[in-house]
Structure 1
Amino acid sequence: MTKDTHRNVMGNGLRAVLPPDQKHWWQVPHLIKLNCLIGGLLLFSSTVGYDSSLMTGLQSLSSWVDFMETPSGAWLGFISAIQSLGSMLGLPIQAWGANKFGRKPCVLVGYFFLFLGVGIQVGAHSPAMFIASRFFIGIAGGWFQAAIILLAEIAYPTHRSRLTAMYHCQYYIGSTLSAWLVFGCRNINSMWAWKVPSLCQIVFPLLALPVVVLCPESPRWMISQDRHEEARSFLVKYHAGGDEAAPLVAFQMDEITRSIIMERESKNSTSWLDMLRTKGNRHRLFISLTLGTFAQWNGIGIVSYYLTLILKTIGITSVTQQTLINGFLQVWNLVMAVVGSMLVDVAGRRTLFLLSTCIMLVSYIIITGLSATFAHSHVSSVGTAVIPFLFLYYGGYDIAFTPLVMAYPAEIWPFALRAKGVALTSVSTYLALLFNQFVNPIALDSIAWKYYIIYICLLLVIMGTIYFTYPETRGYSLEEIAVVFDGDDASMTAVAELRKEAESNKKEIEHVESSPKGI
């Protein structure tokens, strides 16, 4: 994205206070420091991606299948779902802790549960120990969700959209490493075939740990705790390069402070019930719940968690072939997810969501037709033809649902409810995932390709819901987005005035600079 494009997608108020000679971030020392810290926070999505996709790979390893006593059907669904149950338990507590103690401490709490879970998993001597380990790893994933909140609230204003979109894309870095590591360990003739990938779940968190220790707390959280000088010091250091008089610092301090004060003075506070008390919040709640559900009920729950079962239905039964396809699929996911994250400010959120759903719908129709044909003919070439459309389907999913499933809720909620809003999206995702993990293996065993027809119908529902209820948020700061949902309510008056004031100041400066000298 060019420097000019950055300005074109920003609101007028923010545009007025940006440095006139804005350079690329890699040419600005203080932005390099900030984005390196944010790069460390992105690794927590890789951690979740590795943990979640590990189960897909393990199902291809005979040593793991034997150790777990050949799980199938509902029991396999339960083993896969236990991690989601752990995350659902951790998320509400994390949302409370993020507002009470800050975003950063919540990330650190996740380390305790992760190391506990990985230790039990690697040392497991029974299926029960393995299942318990997945539960604790799930709890860790719930606490790690605070990372995207922290990222969204410390990012430089013109970088926030793409960086928050990039967060969930890193999921595929973790899933790619998991897939290829399982592929590399597939021929180890011992339980270390699955214990080595299990142990490597700590790799990304260990890489991120120094960054978490050095990373500052959210300036928005500090202002909410009346620690204004600390918040201002952060903005001066990381957003203005030490310039105390930078207009951007004054603009952000005023915008954030006024927004938080008005949240306190309005009927909204920080309880879960406040999500129902205004029309704008109910709209946000609807989006948070449906987006989390749609992220799993668009068919991804089958092809991600039960890829092995799908490949078997089309005649691909070799462990090498299955793990190899899974490995290449994860690389493809990463590439397409990054492409999608780069387009969030160019194409906009609505366009990406609608395009994504259309691609998935067409792909699923073709996959269903080919799978049905193979089920009757058993012609191997027909089964193999499913594979490129699986890649096409994933490409459609990745350009919108991967980058925006966390980024969109993180930006639409006001500060006081942001942690809870993101947590609700994650909880709805896990609830939909739980359903998938229990039902999908049973349905695939019973009716095979016919089960895909349900997801074709669901994709049509998803497309209609997005078209009629998901608004565009491109070009707004975190505080300004409230006007999209709340209209011109009194709670947004100060922010609107601030934007007008910034535009007015800019015009005065331009007028003085353009006036002849001596006048």
Structure 2
Amino acid sequence: MAAGNTEDYADGQLAVAATAKKIWWKDPQLRRLNFCLFSLILLSSSNGFDGSLVNGLQSLDSWMSFMQTPDGTWLGFINGMYSVGALVSLTLGGWGCNMFGRRPCIYIGITILTIGGILGAVAPNDTVFIVSRVIIGLGTGWVSTAGPLLLSEIAYPEFRSVTSALFMVGYYVGAVISSWVTFATRDYTSSWSWRLPTLLQILCPLVAVPGMLITPESPRWLIGKERIEDARKVLADLHAGGDQTSPLVNLEVEEIHGAIVAEKEASASASYLDMLKTPGNRHRLMITISLGVFSQWSGNGVVSYYLSMVLDTVGITETRDQLLISGCLQIWNLGFAAVGASLIERVGRRPLFMTSASVMLVSYIIITGLSGSFAESGAGPTGIAVIPFLFIYFAGYDIALTPLLTAYPCEIWPFALRSRGLSVAWLSAIFALIFNTFVNPIALAAIAWKYYFVFVAVLLCYGITAFFFYPETKGYSLEHVAFVFDGDQAAVAPVGEKAVIQAEREGTDAQVEHV
């Protein structure tokens, strides 16, 4: 840190602490910022809405008849087409976010989602409905890439990690709406029993539009395009009540600009190949891919898309009962995902990952045992006993794999590779999801509860991987997480500033030499 800037750093931290003590609804600056952040969180709702929607539609006779009673491969194909659309747009999303900015990509996604939702609601036949699912997937890919990036890059420094984790909590906002709307329309005698829930998939993204209109472009993207004064104004408006001379704003601009310049000096390009060039990047890539895979291969895909089939295997076959359990499960998920997001900075990432793996593994073993016992005995109480352990399992999933799926990749990758890193996380999750949606219904139909043994093994791998390879990033800013992966080779800041950060993390009163 250059002479004189250590004081700015300290003043900036005091400014953060002072603002953190403010009550957000009494402060116009924080009200506006939180409204923008809430709007961005709603963008993940379309993803959760879809997972719950298709599961609920399988309990509706009108939709099953309209789709020619799908099961096995055909049901997997219907579910999988959403993932195919998302796969295409995620590939474009990382490039688009770097080239055009985060906001334009979000608008592209919302527009495509709206078209897909309307088309699905008015579909005259099953072919058009499947096409609508491809289109919805295309829109989801754009907002799922740009949304968490913009969220993490405009959040107030003190609350950045929690704010980033809340993005995927919006997933369950969509899931809750979907499950209860489907429950409410289950007795409709017309096709609107499934058309109305399908149409409402566009509700949350459209509700987010007013907030998006006042949400600025990412200051990090602006600085990356050499628009430093524009970025300064954005940071001042969001974090300092419009005061562009604020020590906090000066600190943020200096940190972001210094990190981006250092990254450009370290690498002339910012391509996907750069993810393999250094040990730190290879470590990041392993985490990113494995996190995406575990988010879909931990057994949640079976329950998310095929809960009705799971409940059938334990004797719960009534439409009302299945939809009621689904609706209550989504509310449960929303609550625990919010709890997990709120604990990220208090307890750290690693404790959440390890707790998640332990709870999921134990509960899934019990679910497997109870399901096998019911298959042999047919005893109703045994089948019903599966339900509470499904809820416990999802509590374990929600506290880590939901909030950290996007938040962890967003913070571990440097700016130049952040959008591509998030795209890789989503791509790995989508590839795993495509496998799930095609294989799960076939496996469940063929071997029923015995299929659960596969996920017991995956959950064991998840716990081992998290323990040995997922480092703690608690307490670091976006620019300084690089120290965890790259050590002294981190393309971030001069030695003096590294010492400041280290002293702050250790809670010492170490004197920092000006350089």
TM tier, smaller: over 0.9
Query: Residues of 2 paired with 1:64 and 1:504: CA distance?
Result: 61
Q: 1:119 matched to which residue of 2?
A: 118
8 A Cα contact 1:153 1:218, kept in partner:
yes
Q: 1:290 matched to which residue of 2?
A: 290
Q: What are the superposed Cα offsets for residues 315-340 of structure 1, whole Å, 9 maximum, x if unpaired? A: 00000000000000000000111111
8 A Cα contact 1:13 1:500, kept in partner:
no
TM-score, scaled relative to structure 2: 0.93
Mark the CA change 1:469 to 1:207 in structure 2 (over 3 Å): closer, same or farther: same
Query: Residues of 2 paired with 1:268 and 1:170: CA distance?
Result: 37
- More off after superposition, 269-278 vs 129-138: 269-278
Q: Measure how far apart 1:19 and its partner are.
A: 4.9
8 A Cα contact 2:40 2:147, kept in partner:
yes
8 A Cα contact 1:13 1:499, kept in partner:
no
Q: 2:91 matched to which residue of 1?
A: 92
Amino acid at match of 2:141: G
- More off after superposition, 241-250 vs 16-25: 16-25
Mark the CA change 1:194 to 1:69 in structure 2 (over 3 Å): closer, same or farther: same
Q: 1:363 matched to which residue of 2?
A: 363
> Is residue 202 from structure 1 mapped to residue 197 from structure 2 by the alignment?
no
SS of the residue 1:188 aligns to: coil
8 A Cα contact 2:67 2:126, kept in partner:
yes
Query: Residues of 1 paired with 2:458 and 2:496: CA distance?
Result: 43
- More off after superposition, 17-26 vs 138-147: 17-26
Query: Residues of 1 paired with 2:70 and 2:359: CA distance?
Result: 34
Q: Measure how far apart 1:48 and its partner are.
A: 2.0
> Is residue 241 from structure 1 mapped to residue 235 from structure 2 by the alignment?
no
8 A Cα contact 1:49 1:173, kept in partner:
yes
Q: What are the superposed Cα offsets for residues 99-155 of structure 1, whole Å, 9 maximum, x if unpaired? A: 000000000001221122122211211111010000000000001121110010000
TM-score, scaled relative to structure 1: 0.92
8 A Cα contact 1:64 1:191, kept in partner:
yes
Q: What are the equivalent positions in structure 2 for 1:36-435 lying under 5 Å apart?
A: 36-145=35-144, 146-267=146-267, 269-435=269-435
Query: Residues of 2 paired with 1:364 and 1:490: CA distance?
Result: 40
Q: What are the superposed Cα offsets for residues 267-299 of structure 1, whole Å, 9 maximum, x if unpaired? A: 262211111111111111111100000001111
Amino acid at match of 1:407: A
Q: Measure how far apart 1:244 and its partner are.
A: 3.0
Identity over aligned residues, as a percent? 48
8 A Cα contact 1:50 1:178, kept in partner:
yes
> Is residue 443 from structure 1 mapped to residue 443 from structure 2 by the alignment?
yes
**Paired residue for 1:18, among 6, 11, 16?**
16
Amino acid at match of 1:18: V
Mark the CA change 1:393 to 1:175 in structure 2 (over 3 Å): closer, same or farther: same
Query: Residues of 1 paired with 2:121 and 2:28: CA distance?
Result: 42
Amino acid at match of 2:336: M
Mark the CA change 1:457 to 1:16 in structure 2 (over 3 Å): closer, same or farther: same
Amino acid at match of 2:392: L
Q: What are the equivalent positions in structure 2 for 1:455-494 lying under 5 Å apart?
A: 455-489=455-489, 491-494=491-494
Mark the CA change 1:13 to 1:246 in structure 2 (over 3 Å): closer, same or farther: closer
Amino acid at match of 1:311: L
SS of the residue 1:405 aligns to: helix
Q: 1:513 matched to which residue of 2?
A: none
Q: What are the superposed Cα offsets for residues 482-512 of structure 1, whole Å, 9 maximum, x if unpaired? A: 1101111162342x4335469999xxxx9xx
8 A Cα contact 1:13 1:498, kept in partner:
no
Query: Residues of 2 paired with 1:129 and 1:99: CA distance?
Result: 33
Amino acid at match of 1:130: F
Q: Measure how far apart 1:16 and its partner are.
A: 5.7
Q: Measure how far apart 1:21 and its partner are.
A: 6.9
Q: Measure how far apart 1:20 and its partner are.
A: 4.8
Q: What are the superposed Cα offsets for residues 48-102 of structure 1, whole Å, 9 maximum, x if unpaired? A: 2112321111111000000000011011001001101100100111110100000
Q: Measure how far apart 1:190 and its partner are.
A: 1.4
8 A Cα contact 2:16 2:158, kept in partner:
no
Amino acid at match of 1:254: E
Query: Residues of 1 paired with 2:53 and 2:455: CA distance?
Result: 24
Q: What are the superposed Cα offsets for residues 28-57 of structure 1, whole Å, 9 maximum, x if unpaired? A: 321221111111111101222112321111
Amino acid at match of 1:435: F
Gapped runs of 5+ residues in structure 1?
A: 1-10, 511-519
Query: Residues of 2 paired with 1:256 and 1:282: CA distance?
Result: 23
Query: Residues of 1 paired with 2:110 and 2:150: CA distance?
Result: 16
SS of the residue 2:471 aligns to: coil
8 A Cα contact 1:60 1:319, kept in partner:
yes
8 A Cα contact 1:357 1:459, kept in partner:
yes
Mark the CA change 1:501 to 1:351 in structure 2 (over 3 Å): closer, same or farther: closer
Query: Residues of 1 paired with 2:290 and 2:502: CA distance?
Result: 37
Amino acid at match of 1:105: P
Query: Residues of 1 paired with 2:195 and 2:484: CA distance?
Result: 49
Segments of 4+ moved more than 6 angstroms: 11-14, 501-505
Query: Residues of 2 paired with 1:430 and 1:136: CA distance?
Result: 15
SS of the residue 2:359 aligns to: helix
Amino acid at match of 1:482: A
- More off after superposition, 105-114 vs 59-68: 105-114
8 A Cα contact 2:292 2:405, kept in partner:
yes
